[in-house]
Amino acid sequence: MQIKDYFSILELEASAPVTEIKKAYRRLALQLHPDKTGNDPYAAARFAEIKEAYEVLTDPAKKEYYLQQRWYNQTAGIRRTEQLVTPVTMIQQSLELERYVAKLDEFRMDREGLLAFMLDLYSDERLEKLRSFNDTDSVHTIVHAVIRSSKYLKPEQSEKVAAQILKAAPGDSVIARELADFLQQSRKKEKNEKYNVWLALLLTALICLIIYLTSR
């Protein structure tokens, strides 16, 4: 079972007293409050997560239960760090990928490398952990970022990514429709690009023919 590291979420040591927990919560809540961050999906997810951490760590009964579960998992050798797969970390990594792809040169980029990276980022194991949180809103945010990050992939590559990310929300008709629409647009784009290439070749050949005939 996954246990979030609430102390790390609040940027605290595990020995932090309640007074420090309250201070950390107020500080982070001010930074990430929707009134300041607007529609930033990562900030919204982080705000919800620090609120959850605060509610658990300031409630004696909830904190006691959490600390027991945390100890069980640590004793079993399961690391509870920022590397844990949570909706927040997946959103953050997905948005970072999107920003990275936006800076790439479409005509020089390594599409196979990007495909391999995305399939690793959204591996079966990571998506299974993401599903365990039952956080539909976060999954939708991640899928939208994936779609935007896939804009330079070939249709057959996009199909692989779409089939993989769909595992994050099996049975979600909204996500399935959005992915289907994206794949349709991807195939249409490739078809138009091929048409434009043939049109350019035809025009080039026609111009060469005209030049040849007029120079005789």
End-to-end CA distance of the chain: 82
pLDDT of residue 78: 46
**Is residue 142 a part of any domain in this protein?**
yes
pTM, to two decimals: 0.61
The residue among 195 and 203 whose pLDDT is bigger is 203
**Is residue 201 a part of any domain in this protein?**
no
**Is residue 213 a part of any domain in this protein?**
no
3-state secondary structure of 1: coil
pLDDT of residue 199: 67
CATH assignment of the domain containing 23: 1.10.287.110
Structure tokens at 31: 């930074």
Cα–Cα dist 70/29, whole Å = 24
Are 204 and 172 spatial neighbours (Cβ–Cβ below 8 Å)?
no
**Is residue 55 a part of any domain in this protein?**
yes
Could you read off the pLDDT of 46-76 as tens digits, one per residue? 999 999 999 999 999 899 888 877 776 766 5
Residue ending a domain, choose from 48, 75, 102 = 75
**Is residue 167 a part of any domain in this protein?**
yes
Question: Which domain covers residue 55, as residue numbers?
Answer: 6-75
Exposed/middle/buried for 93, CB within 10 Å: 0-12, 13-18, 19+? middle
Domain count, the chain: 2
**Is residue 202 a part of any domain in this protein?**
no
Structure tokens at 74: 């640590």
**Is residue 137 a part of any domain in this protein?**
yes
| Whether pLDDT at 107 is above 60 | yes
pLDDT confidence tier of residue 82, bands split at 50, 70 and 90: very low
**Is residue 71 a part of any domain in this protein?**
yes
Structure tokens at 116: 């391999």
